[in-house]
C-alpha cells in the first residue's frame, strides 16, 4: 500500500520525519522541561530527565556507537526500566543504529530466548549498565551463543569516544527499532518499525486520546513491550507532556501503587492490559484507599489482551467513590506488527458493550440478544473501537480469503501507514503475514477498499453494523470438537467463575489429541489465599459440570496449578501453546488435577518418570512404561 501522508497535530514548529528530528525539536524549544520522571514507589522520585538532558545523553551514546561504525546495525538494549533505558534507546536512533528492546535479565532466567533474539537480529553490540554487565556475563561462560561473541557497553559509566556526534542522515523509511513479539524461542519474530511507522502511529494515539501539552502520563508498563515503549515513552515526547514512569516490579508487588501514583501526580493518561484493572479490584478489597483521588484520570486505556465487560464494571464500581469516571475507559486494539494502536474508542464516551447470543458466536456469526434472555445464553463483549485514520480494518474468511459480511466471525486483517515493514530476517514469515490479498471484490453493502496487501493479525473477530470491532479469540487457539468451534476465552471465562477457589481470568483452555480425537484440557490457577488443603474433587467437579452445561463439552482433564504459574507473555496474554507443551511434558506446577484417564494425572506421570529413572539406573536403559 502506498504511504498516505497527513498533518501532525502535536505542536512541532518544524515537520519531523524521524524520532531524531522530534527529540531535537523538543530539546530546542522545550529544553528545560522535564519530560521523564522515574519513581520506585508511588511518591519517591529517583530520577528526572529534561528534553535537553536526554538530547545530550543520546548524543554521547550515539558518538560511541558511531565510533564503532554501527550505523544500520542492530544493538540490544539490556536495562531495567528507568532513565538509562530511555537514554540508550535514543542513543541508538541518534547513531542510525537499529535498537532492539529486550526484556531485562532476571536471576535464574534462561538465556535461551535472549540468545535467539541476538542471533536472529545478528546483533553487533549490547548496551546495558555496569551492574547488569558484570552479573549477567557470569552466566555466559557455559552458554557460548551470540551474546558471548559481541561487545557489551555500559552506558552508566564514562564512555570513551574519539569522535563527536554527527547526524546520521536517516529518513522516514529508515528502520528505527525491531520489536520482538511473543513468539516461540526457536523462531523469534522481530517486527521492523520505521520512523514513518512510529510517527504516524504516535499521531493516531495523540488524536485518539485527545492529548495536549497539559496531559500527564503515568506508566508502569515494561519499556521493552510495544505498549510501554510506544505508548509510555514515545507518546509523551510526541505530545511534549511529562510522564511518570514506575517499575513493573513495583506494580506487581502492589497494583494499587499504580493508582496512588496517578493520584499523586494528577495523571491524565494511564492504562494497561485488562488484568491490571482486575488486579486493582482484587487488591482493593483488602487495602486502605483513604486519600486516593482519581478525578484527574481522563484516558484509562485498555488493550493488549481481551477486554472484559465484568472487569470494567467492577473497576468502575470499586473506584467511582474515589473520583474515577467510567467514561475514562478507552478500549483499543493493536499489536507490534502495526507499531501499536489500530482501533480505538471515543474519548469521553463509555466503552461500547453489547450482548450477543452465545450459541451464534460458536456458530461463527454474532447475533444480538436482549437482556431478558436466559441465564448463560448471552455473551457480553466489549468493542475495541473503530479503525483510525488512514487505516483499514476488515474481517476475512481465513480459508477462502473472502471478505466477511457484518457480524460474521473471521480473521482480522489490517492495512495502513502504521503497519510495519515485516519481520527481520524472516522473508517467508513476512510474505505469509504482511502480504495477504483478498480473493474477491468487496461484499455488497460494505465500504470498498484495496484488495491488499493486508497484515494478517491471527486474531478472530467481527465488525458490527457500526463498524465497531469485537475481538473473540485467536485463529490458532480455536478448539474444534466434534465439528463445533469453541473459543478458549469463552471456556476460560466459564471456568474462572465456577468455584470460589479459582482465580478468574487466570486459566487456559487447550486442545490435545487423544487417539486421533481432539479433546479439551482445562488449566486453571487457584487463589493464593486458600486453606491449607484444597478440595480438588469439589473444585474439578464444579468445573466439569459448568463446562458441560454451558459449552456441551466434557473435559478430558482439569489441571489446577499454583497461583502465578500460568505461562503468559510480558503483556499478560495467556501463552496457550506453552500451556499445551507444559501439559504434555508434565511441567505444570500442579496442586491438584482430575483426568478421564488416570494415566494422564500428574501423580501417575511423576511415578512413571521416577520408575523409569530407577530402571535406567539399574539396567542403563530406560524401559518404556505404558499407561
User: Which grid cell sits at 534?
Assistant: 484444597
State the DSSP code for 566.
S
Quote the cell numbers at residue 94.
Answer: 541518534
What CATH number has the domain bearing residue 537? Answer: 3.30.300.30
Task: Please indicate, yes or no, if residue 259 is contained in any of the structural domains.
Answer: no
Adjacent-strand bridge partners of 180: 190
Q: Domain of 428: which CATH number?
A: 2.30.38.10
Instruction: List alpha helices for 266-357, DSSP H.
Output: 274-284, 309-319
Residues 133, 117, single domain; the answer is yes
Same domain? For 451 and 589 the reply is no
Q: How far apart are CA 463 and CA 240, in angstroms?
A: 35
User: 163 and 61, same structural domain?
Assistant: yes
Residues 352 and 485 occupy one common structural domain: no
Burial (Cβ within 10 Å: 0-12, 13-18, ≥19) of residue 443: middle
Q: Let me know: does 88 contact 79? Beta carbons within 8 Å.
A: yes
Helix axes 195-209, 19-30, angle to 10 degrees: 60
Give the pLDDT confidence score for residue 611 in this predicted structure. 62
Q: Give me the number of domains the chain comprises.
A: 3
List the beta bridge partners of residue 378: 357
Per-10-residue mean pLDDT of the chain, 627 residues long, equals: 47 80 96 93 80 97 96 96 96 98 65 84 95 77 72 89 93 97 68 97 96 97 93 97 94 93 96 92 82 97 89 95 97 95 92 91 88 77 91 94 95 96 96 93 54 93 95 83 80 92 93 83 89 84 93 93 88 84 90 88 70 63 48
Q: Answer whether residue 60 is part of any domain.
A: yes
C-alpha cell read off for 588: 505444570
Q: What is the pLDDT, as a whole number, of residue 11?
A: 62
Residue 301 Cα distances to 222, 277, 297, 321, angstroms? 15, 10, 10, 20
CB neighbourhood size of 238 (10 A): 24
Give the DSSP H/E element, type plus range, for residue 86. helix 83-94
CB 570 within 8 A of CB 518: no
Q: What is the CATH number of the domain that holds 190?
A: 3.40.50.12780
- Report the candidate in 490, 494, 517, 518 with the shortest Cα–Cα distance to residue 504: 494
Task: Sort 31 into a burial class: Cβ within 10 Å, 0-12 / 13-18 / 19+.
Answer: middle
* pLDDT value, residue 626: 47
Domain assignment of residue 2, yes or no? no
Question: At residue 341, what are phi and psi to the nearest 5 degrees?
Answer: -80, 145
Helix (H) or strand (E) run with residue 415 in it = strand 410-416
Q: Which of 248, 265, 281 is the last residue of a domain?
A: 248
Residue 253 is assigned to a structural domain of this protein: no
In a domain, 70, yes or no: yes
* 475 neighbors 454 (Cβ within 8 angstroms): no
Distance from first CA to last CA of the chain, Å, rounded? 56
Model confidence pTM above 0.75? yes
Q: Which three cell numbers stand for residue 371?
A: 437482556
Q: Are residues 485 and 427 in the same domain?
A: no
- The three cell numbers of residue 399 are 480459508
Cα four-point dihedral sign 458, 471, 338, 268: negative
Same domain? For 463 and 483 the reply is no
Q: Domain boundary at 248, 265, 287, which? A: 248
Q: Is the peptide bond before 587 cis (omega within 30 degrees of 0)?
A: no
Residue found under cell 468493542 = 383
With beta carbons less than 8 A apart as the criterion, state whether 77 and 224 touch.
yes
**Boundaries of domain holding 357:** 337-473
Quickly list DSSP for 9-40: -S--SS--SSHHHHHHHHHHHHTTSEEEEEES
Q: Are residues 235 and 126 in the same domain?
A: yes
| Grid cell at residue 245 | 514512569
CA–CA distance, 105 with 114 (Å, rounded to integer): 9
- Residues contacting 93, CB < 8 A, separation 6+: 18, 19, 20, 58, 62, 99, 176, 177
Residue 293 lies in a domain: no
DSSP structure string for 118-153:
HHHHT--EEEE-HHHHHHHGGGGTT--SGGGTSEEE
Same structural domain, 428 and 519: no
- Given a contact cutoff of 8 angstroms between Cβ atoms, the answer to whether 198 and 230 are in contact is yes
Residue 37 CB partners (closer than 8 Å, separation 6+): 45, 47, 48, 49, 242, 243, 244, 245
* Residue labelled with grid coordinates 510526541: 238
Quickly list H helices, 352-468.
358-362, 427-434
Strand 329-334 and strand 341-344: the pairing is: antiparallel
- From 473, 490, 515, give the residue that closes a domain: 473
pLDDT of 3 reads 37
In angstroms, how far is CA 199 from the centroid of its own chain?
20
Strands annotated E in 445-556:
455-463, 469-474, 479-481, 484-486, 502-514, 517-526
Domain assignment present for residue 626? The answer is: no
- Write down the pLDDT at residue 356: 93
Q: DSSP assignment, residue 338? A: G
Give domain status of residue 360, yes or no. Answer: yes
Within 10 angstroms of residue 531's Cβ, the number of other Cβ atoms is 7
484 and 400 belong to one structural domain? no
The x, y and z cell numbers of residue 213, run together, are 501539552
Contacts by 398-402 with C-beta closer than 8 Å and gap 24+? 398/475, 400/439, 401/436, 401/437, 401/438, 401/439, 401/440, 402/438, 402/439, 402/440, 402/443
Co-location of 142 and 234 in the same domain: yes
Q: Are residues 464 and 490 in the same domain?
A: no
Residues 390, 513, single domain; the answer is no
Amino acid at each position: 500500500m502506498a504511504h498516505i501522508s497527513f498533518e501532525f497535530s502535536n505542536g512541532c514548529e518544524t515537520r519531523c520525519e524521524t524520532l531524531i528530528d522530534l527529540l531535537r525539536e523538543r530539546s530546542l524549544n522545550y529544553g528545560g522541561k522535564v519530560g521523564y520522571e522515574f519513581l520506585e514507589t508511588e511518591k519517591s522520585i529517583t530520577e528526572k530527565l529534561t528534553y535537553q538532558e536526554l538530547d545530550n545523553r543520546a548524543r554521547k551514546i550515539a558518538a560511541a556507537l558511531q565510533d564503532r561504525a554501527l550505523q544500520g546495525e542492530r544493538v540490544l538494549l539490556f536495562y531495567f526500566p528507568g532513565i538509562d533505558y530511555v537514554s540508550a534507546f535514543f542513543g541508538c536512533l541518534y547513531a542510525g543504529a537499529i535498537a532492539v528492546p529486550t526484556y531485562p535479565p532476571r536471576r535464574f532466567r534462561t538465556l535461551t530466548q535472549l540468545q535467539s533474539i541476538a542471533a536472529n537480529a545478528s546483533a553487533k553490540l549490547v548496551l546495558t549498565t555496569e551492574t547488569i554487565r558484570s552479573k549477567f556475563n557470569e552466566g555466559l561462560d557455559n552458554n557460548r551463543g551470540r551474546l558471548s561473541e559481541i561487545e557489551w557497553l555500559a552506558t552508566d559509566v564514562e564512555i570513551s569516544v574519539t569522535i563527536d556526534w554527527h547526524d546520521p542522515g536517516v529518513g522516514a523509511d529508515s528502520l528505527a527499532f525491531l520489536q520482538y513479539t511473543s513468539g516461540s524461542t526457536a523462531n523469534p519474530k522481530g517486527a521492523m518499525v520505521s520512523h514513518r511507522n512510529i510517527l504516524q502511529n504516535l499521531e493516531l494515539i495523540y488524536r485518539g486520546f485527545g492529548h495536549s501539552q497539559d496531559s500527564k502520563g503515568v506508566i508502569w508498563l515494561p519499556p521493552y513491550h510495544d505498549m510501554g515503549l510506544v505508548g509510555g515513552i514515545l507518546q509523551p515526547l510526541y505530545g511534549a507532556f511529562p510522564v511518570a514512569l514506575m517499575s513493573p516490579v513495583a506494580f506487581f508487588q502492589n497494583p494499587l501503587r499504580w493508582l496512588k501514583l496517578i493520584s499523586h501526580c494528577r495523571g491524565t493518561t494511564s492504562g494497561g492490559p485488562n488484568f491490571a484493572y482486575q488486579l486493582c479490584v482484587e487488591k482493593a478489597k483488602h487495602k486502605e484507599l483513604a486519600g486516593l483521588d482519581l478525578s484527574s484520570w481522563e484516558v484509562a486505556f485498555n488493550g493488549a489482551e481481551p477486554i472484559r465487560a465484568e472487569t470494567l464494571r467492577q473497576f468502575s464500581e470499586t473506584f467511582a467513590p474515589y473520583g474515577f469516571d467510567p467514561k475514562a475507559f478507552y478500549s483499543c486494539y493493536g499489536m507490534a506488527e502495526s507499531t501499536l494502536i489500530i482501533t480505538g474508542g471515543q474519548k469521553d464516551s463509555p466503552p461500547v458493550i453489547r450482548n450477543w447470543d452465545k450459541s451464534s458466536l460458536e456458530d461463527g456469526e454474532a447475533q444480538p440478544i436482549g437482556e431478558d434472555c436466559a441465564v448463560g445464553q448471552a455473551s457480553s463483549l466489549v468493542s475495541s473501537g473503530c479503525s483510525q485514520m488512514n487505516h483499514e480494518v476488515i474481517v476475512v474468511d481465513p480459508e477462502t480469503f473472502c471478505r466477511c459480511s457484518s457480524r460474521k466471525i473471521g480473521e482480522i486483517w489490517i492495512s495502513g501507514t502504521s503497519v510495519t515493514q515485516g519481520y527481520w530476517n524472516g522473508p517467508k514469515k513476512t510474505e505469509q503475514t504482511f502480504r495477504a490479498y483478498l480473493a474477491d471484490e468487496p461484499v455488497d453493502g460494505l465500504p470498498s477498499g484495496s484488495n491488499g496487501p493486508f497484515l494478517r493479525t491471527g486474531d478472530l473477530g467481527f465488525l458490527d453494523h457500526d463498524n465497531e470491532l469485537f475481538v473473540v479469540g485467536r485463529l490458532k487457539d480455536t478448539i474444534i470438537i466434534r465439528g463445533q468451534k469453541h473459543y478458549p476465552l469463552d471456556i476460560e471465562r466459564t471456568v474462572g467463575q465456577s468455584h470460589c477457589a479459582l482465580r478468574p481470568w487466570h486459566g487456559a483452555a487447550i486442545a490435545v489429541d487423544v487417539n486421533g480425537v481432539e479433546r479439551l484440557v482445562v488449566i486453571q490457577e487457584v487463589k493464593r489465599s486458600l486453606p491449607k488443603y484444597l478440595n480438588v474433587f469439589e473444585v474439578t467437579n464444579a468445573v466439569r459440570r459448568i463446562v458441560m452445561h454451558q459449552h456441551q463439552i466434557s473435559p478430558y482433564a482439569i489441571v489446577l496449578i499454583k497461583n502465578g504459574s500460568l505461562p503468559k507473555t510480558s503483556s499478560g496474554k495467556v501463552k496457550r501453546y506453552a500451556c499445551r507443551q507444559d501439559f504434555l511434558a508434565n511441567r505444570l506446577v500442579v496442586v491438584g488435577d482430575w483426568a478421564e484417564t488416570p494415566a494422564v494425572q500428574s501423580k501417575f506421570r511423576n511415578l512413571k518418570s521416577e520408575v523409569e529413572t530407577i530402571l535406567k539406573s539399574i539396567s542403563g536403559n530406560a524401559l518404556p512404561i505404558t499407561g
